Chains A and B, each alone.
Chain A
Amino acid sequence: MAAVLLVELVLVLAIEGGEAPSPAEVGPVEAGAALFGPYILGVEIASMLLLAGLIGAYHLGRREE
């Protein structure tokens, strides 16, 4: 599987396709706007995941004989 990934990496680096957006610095303002915009669903699900992790860690770490 690593050989497949290596071959794909070499291919992607070799084929100089036309890239329209140029590499630029992405500040925290744009990242925050993206979080509140299209990725708001992921933020909510991540919060639920953290809540589930919190409750699970509390239950697993309880010292009650």
Chain B
Amino acid sequence: MLFILLSIEIMLNAAGLAFITAGARWGQPDGQVLFLFVLAMAAAEVSVGLALVLRLQRGFDTVDADAASEMRG
């Protein structure tokens, strides 16, 4: 599960780099503004994701995301 979160962060940063490059290519600040929004969303997602990791650890005694593949009832 932690690796899933790490990969998501890397992907978000890659997309943000593309945003900034596009913004610098045309000399407009819109790319950096969009990257700031993406960064704010990534921060909120990381906090919720880590809280989910805590829940997973407490409920299943493992951080493996495949352990939570069945619904109760």
A contact set with B: CB distance below 8 Å: 19, 21-26, 30-31, 33-35, 39, 42, 46, 49-50, 52-54, 56-58, 60-61, 63
Inter-subunit contact A35/B33 (CB<8 Å)? yes
| SS class, residues of chain B in contact with chain A | helix
Inter-subunit contact B27/A21 (CB<8 Å)? yes
Interface centre among A33, A49, A54, A61 (most CB of B within 10 A): A61
Number of A-B contacts (CB under 8 A): 69
Inter-subunit contact A22/B27 (CB<8 Å)? yes
Size of the chain B interface, CB-CB below 8 angstroms: 26
Provide a sorted-by-A list of 26 A–B residue pairs whose CB atoms are within 8 angstroms.
A21-B27, A21-B28, A22-B27, A23-B24, A23-B25, A24-B24, A26-B24, A26-B32, A33-B29, A34-B30, A42-B33, A42-B37, A49-B40, A49-B41, A50-B43, A56-B47, A56-B48, A57-B47, A57-B48, A58-B51, A60-B51, A60-B54, A60-B55, A61-B54, A61-B55, A63-B58
